[in-house]
Structure 1
């Protein structure tokens, strides 16, 4: 199980600081009948709005997020990272998908000078489920996942990307559900990946190559996390996410933390980031395997994940 991190290594300090916490609200019993995912019967249903999730990244996108790092000589610096939207998939109910498609069509009619054939082509590309071909995922699995509302993978160079909030605002022009949906409206298969790239550290230190490490964090976006979101017979025995409790709420706190269920790294030197022993190594392995398995289960080729893995 991943959770209850204490800042006793730079890796855990990074994971703790980059975990978003969003305000939660209570859904009246009368409003729980229309949920895409019906939670186990309970006295109340708590939820958060996706727009509040993006707001958590607003300041980080504008100024960077500072992560305290202890160097080998016991000096400390604050390393600043900028978050970028690396990938996102939102699965929702058909009603939400159709509603959003209608809004998208209206926007295209109002703001696009493209020909009708170009509009139809782009519309088809936007809502097609390229990552889940009929050969890879059965119809029953598609029903379990829900309707693919949004599929976005970033392929651009890190130097040419715009910060996460700016990208979300851009996508929201075609996918307004990014600002109107609640996490209880979407499937447990919904997820996103955030790429964290370093920009500077204070105080400035020369020749600290280990501070050039980059990270991919993976977060669920629904009210529930399913380790295997495809039928068990389709999951390889060695490919289990083995992660639970990735949404945590503290006692007396009206917010919920979206701990990453997966992680990939680039240019990371273990000596600086991980403590000696096996705890941090096991954490890294568990999170990496969870990301790998989730992508494999969904049939997604995640460009940044492949790059981080092979470089």
Structure 2
């Protein structure tokens, strides 16, 4: 009844005050750790025992470092590995977080992608004095390695993080060797969704653009940044040799819909029936499995590389980087 009467800012203030009291009473680890996050802020961390992970890649890294027991909660993009996340409290989608849900878990540390939001929620979390480290999402090979090391440093697990980063770097090296065998890069269009006949396609400066390039392709859409809806004429003009998309539990862009679409039906992709659908976090998450995801895309786009792709054994999957 009281929550219904109070305004939203007032509820945030009360929840923040309570959470601040809880965090202050939490036992700290031996020695504080200082990290610089995506906003250039120096964040001092005293206790990682109840870490809230907001971002699928962050959760993957934490588990790969053997720190799943410290994860007190996750967001809805944290779906891998399923056995490690299935019983974790979920605070919802990383861009639509509620302050009550996040603060209510009493985390001693929050690791979140820098795209987490909304802004009002993030301000309420900071007001609660909970250490918040925003992890930069730099969609490059080096950006991924830096992400792993930053997460590891925040968790006082630098040695494990360096181990994992080294393994991922070796996977990128294997991927480069595979790409070197490609004679003619294909034009690939990434379609996020196809709703009422309208395609939402990825342009530059997106995770989709980077994964296309990592897999040895060329983004067929290069006239804009981000994701935008495009019409049939633009689809035909882009001349994609292949269409790439993600598999989801609902609203999935299926191959049959692609082949029947009046715009895509006139493209080389439809003529040659080249349609690739993969798990969204695996394909676009930019976590430790990214080189393996790019390898799988390359093997599908270029059947002649199938045997060489089969020799690509991801180091990140087998590296023992736990303390």
TM-score, with length taken from structure 1: 0.22
Q: Which of the pair has more CA radius of gyration? A: 2
Q: Does 1 or 2 have the higher relative contact order (CA < 8 Å, sep 6+)?
A: 1
Q: Which has the higher strand share?
A: 1
